């Protein structure tokens, strides 16, 4: 047991959401025109989903928001007071619930409170090992650069050593992402982003490309990598080639070589590390599968991977170890309800 405390080395930014998670079926997916395994922004036709899940599918209210899950995951591993999370919530009970869950997980939250919009919600439809995410951002869409730049919050950014921003935030406040990215590049800190969902490279390509030069580490999964390749006309569906192309994109901070990490479900995780001479090193890290019967649901598995991985990076672990820590935490999370982690806290041991 370590008694040393952290110093809020890790600062995460994104969309705080409450997940409304229920078990559904083909009919429910069809009713709202949802794919079994996807993440989308809600349109008018989806607005009935949340009440439907609560009334007819025994839905549970759990903390969500991809990077908020990652923040809780990283704090699960790191010493107390290591993680700050920033985003925008409403003045309501759902917002209070998020605050309470993060406080219990030891994550310091610095929310902007929107006076008009309610806290954002994500409808989660579980069918087997798939999960369909449908997000009504509401207050989460009202994050403002002014909040980040207010003296007491910006002090936290200046103090942090590693930044983690969910790609989902590219739909919300690019100036805030760029402010953190510039801070990282100027002071040789680490700026980590996640591709988050196929619709980000598909429909938010310009925003993505604006922040790409700042990526020290980019995390994604295989479907997001394929969506990236398609929207950028890379002309390949080979994950290693796609990761290599991303690793070789121009980089603002030339002191740190870029690393691109692509998870592929049960297949090996691909890590591509750029070298100063322009070449790359490709690593493949195996996943240690658990028995299917032990899986509760896969909502938040990718966020948990990112949490374990980023914790490893904050601790200065070798890349393969950080990836293994991500796999370990994802394995723990899929055995829980939604994006949660088991208590009492378990300690990472290499697998
Ligand atoms: C902007 N969008 C669509 C989103 C999200 C999101 N988090 C932030 N922004 N859509 C889904 N999520 C979260 O992803 C987690 C699972 O990976 C859900 O809240 C869920 O907890």
Q: Give me the mean pLDDT over the 308-314 stretch.
A: 98
Tokens of 266: 């049960």
Q: Give me the mean pLDDT over the 258-272 stretch.
A: 97
- Centre of ligand 1 to C-alpha 77, Å, is 22
**What is the spatial distance between Cα 328 and Cα 79, in angstroms, rounded to a whole number?**
18
pLDDT at 22: 97
Q: Give me the mean pLDDT over the 160-180 stretch.
A: 98
Would the pLDDT of 271 be above 70? yes
- Centre of ligand 1 to C-alpha 304, Å, is 13
pLDDT at 4: 85
CB atoms within 10 A of CB 283: 15
* Residue partners of 78: CB distance under 8 A and separation at least 6: 6, 9, 10, 311, 314, 315
Domains of the chain plus CATH, in order, are: 10-17+64-120+137-333 (3.40.1190.20)
Q: Give me the mean pLDDT over the 326-343 stretch.
A: 96
pLDDT at 351: 66
Angle at 238 between CA 235 and CA 239, to 5 degrees: 120
Under the banding of pLDDT at 50, 70 and 90, the label for residue 2 is: low
Ligand 1-lining residues (CB < 6 angstroms): 14-15, 17, 19, 39, 41, 64-66, 69, 122, 133, 135, 137, 166, 168, 171, 299-300, 302-303, 339
**What is the spatial distance between Cα 259 and Cα 272, in angstroms, rounded to a whole number?**
6
* Residue partners of 328: CB distance under 8 A and separation at least 6: 308, 348, 351
- Chain-centre distance for alpha carbon 295: 20
* Residue partners of 161: CB distance under 8 A and separation at least 6: 9, 10, 189, 190, 314
Contact criterion met (CB below 8 Å) for 76 and 329: yes
Q: How far is CA 303 from CA 4, 257, 328, 335, in A?
A: 26, 24, 12, 14
Q: Which atom of ligand 1 is nearest to the CA of 40?
A: 3
pTM: 0.97
Under the banding of pLDDT at 50, 70 and 90, the label for residue 264 is: very high
* Burial of residue 17 (number of CB atoms within 10 Å: 0-12, 13-18, 19+): buried
Residues identified as active-site: 303
The partner residues of 132 in beta bridges, in order of sequence, read: 38, 125
């Amino acid at each position: 047991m370590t008694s040393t405390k952290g110093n809020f080395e890790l600062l995460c930014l994104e969309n705080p959401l409450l997940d409304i998670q229920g078990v559904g079926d083909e009919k429910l997916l069809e009713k709202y025109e949802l794919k079994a395994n996807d993440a989308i922004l809600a349109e008018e036709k989806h607005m009935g989903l949340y009440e439907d899940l609560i009334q007819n599918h025994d839905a549970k209210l759990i903390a969500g928001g991809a990077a908020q899950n990652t923040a809780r995951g990283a704090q699960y591993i790191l010493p107390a007071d290591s993680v700050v999370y920033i985003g925008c919530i409403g003045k309501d009970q759902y917002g209070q619930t998020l605050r309470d869950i993060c406080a219990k997980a030891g994550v310091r939250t610095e929310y902007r409170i929107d006076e008009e919009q309610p806290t954002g919600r994500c409808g989660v439809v579980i069918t087997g090992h798939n999960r369909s995410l449908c997000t009504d951002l509401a207050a989460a869409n009202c994050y403002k650069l002014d909040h980040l730049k207010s003296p007491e919050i910006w002090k936290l950014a200046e103090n942090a050593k590693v930044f983690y921003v969910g790609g989902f935030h590219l739909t919300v406040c690019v100036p805030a992402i760029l402010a953190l990215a510039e801070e990282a590049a100027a002071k040789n800190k680490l700026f980590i982003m996640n591709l988050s969902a196929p619709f980000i490279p598909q429909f938010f390509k310009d925003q993505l490309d604006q922040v790409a030069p700042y990526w020290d580490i980019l995390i994604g999964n295989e479907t997001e990598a394929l969506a990236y390749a398609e929207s950028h006309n890379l002309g390949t569906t080979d994950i290693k080639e796609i990761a290599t192309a991303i690793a070789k994109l121009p980089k603002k901070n030339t002191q740190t070589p870029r690393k691109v990490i692509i998870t592929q479900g049960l297949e090996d995780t691909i890590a591509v590390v750029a070298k100063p001479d322009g070449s790359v090193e490709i690593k493949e890290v195996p996943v240690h599968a658990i028995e299917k019967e032990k899986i509760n649901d896969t909502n938040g598995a990718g966020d948990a991977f990112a949490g374990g991985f980023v914790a490893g990076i904050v601790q200065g672990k070798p890349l393969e170890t950080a990836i293994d820590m991500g796999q370990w935490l994802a394995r723990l999370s899929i055995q829980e309800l939604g994006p949660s982690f088991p208590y009492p806290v378990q300690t990472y041991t290499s697998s």
